[in-house]
Amino acid sequence: MTNLVLFGPPGAGKGTQASILKEKYQLVHISTGDVFRYNIKNETELGKSAKSYMDKGQLVPDEVTIEMLKAEVESNEGAKGFIFDGFPRTRAQAEALEDLLASKEEEVDAMVALEVEDEVLLQRLLERGKTSGRPDDADESVIRERIKVYYEETAILKEYYKKDDKYYGVDGVGSVQEITERLSAVIDKLV
């Protein structure tokens, strides 16, 4: 199995690249955002719990997020591996992911981070905001706050994966194909 954590700030292109990489390497793409939306829409117990925190503007506790991701992994028995997108976001989540994969005699092979300068991210998100309908993509101050929070929350995780030589930073600027080629060069060394 190949298990990747795909990381990068908002607007780095994680969703675009995950779609390409999941096909190329036949991996299951697990997006935290998609998992949350599915559970909330279908009013699962975990979805109701997550929504109760989100409705108050609070972060969903690690335990709820971890249970949702665990259910996703377990519903994909026999997969060749996973691309985790937007997870883990905290050290507790990284440790829980390690434990979950260890219970299946697996591990995270790499955290691959798309690195993009803040001003490029800002322009990408403002451009996306013109068509996405997402209010958080249309307001420059909100975008800057999202980028700031990303760096504050994930700095610890970069070091967490670096200590085991599992962190790979990849230049996230260029054409979609150029970025895919850079990511593939890293992944090909792992598979």
| Residue 128 annotated as part of some ligand binding site | yes
Q: Which of 14-23, 133-142, 180-189 has the lowest mean pLDDT?
A: 133-142
Of these residues, 70, 128, 144, 166, which one is catalytic?
128
Binned at pLDDT 50, 70 and 90, residue 155 comes out as confident
Strand runs labelled E in 23-115: 28-31, 81-85, 110-115
The rounded percent of the chain whose pLDDT value lies above 70 is 100
| Residue 144 annotated as part of some ligand binding site | no
Binned at pLDDT 50, 70 and 90, residue 150 comes out as confident
Please tell me what DSSP assigns to residue 137: G
The yes-or-no answer on residue 146 being catalytic is yes
**Structural contact between residues 18 and 6, judged by C-beta atoms closer than 8 angstroms:** yes
The yes-or-no answer on residue 128 being catalytic is yes
Give the strand pairing for 167-171 and 110-115: parallel
The structural domain count of the chain equals 1
Binned at pLDDT 50, 70 and 90, residue 177 comes out as very high
Q: Is the pLDDT of residue 167 over 80?
A: yes
Q: Which of 107-116, 149-158, 173-182 has the lowest mean pLDDT?
A: 149-158
According to the model, what pLDDT value does residue 115 have? 95
| Beta bridge partner(s), residue 84 | 5, 30
Binned at pLDDT 50, 70 and 90, residue 122 comes out as very high
Q: Is the pLDDT of residue 13 over 90?
A: yes
> pLDDT of 45-74, one tens digit each?
999 998 888 888 777 888 999 999 999 999
What's the mean pLDDT when you consider all of the chain?
91
Two tokens, residue 46:
């975990």
The average pLDDT across 7-33 equals 93
Which residue range forms the structural domain that includes residue 109? 2-190
The average pLDDT across 8-22 equals 93
Q: Give the integer Cα–Cα distance in Å for 129 and 139.
A: 8
Q: Give the integer Cα–Cα distance in Å for 150 and 8.
A: 8
CATH number at residue 141: 3.40.50.300
Using the structure block, give the residue that is written with the tokens 């390497």. 25
Two tokens, residue 48:
């109701």
What phi, psi does 29 have (nearest 5°)?
-90, 120
The reply to whether the predicted model has a pTM over 0.85 is yes
The yes-or-no answer on residue 144 being catalytic is no
Amino acid identity for residue 113 in this structure: A
The yes-or-no answer on residue 182 being catalytic is no
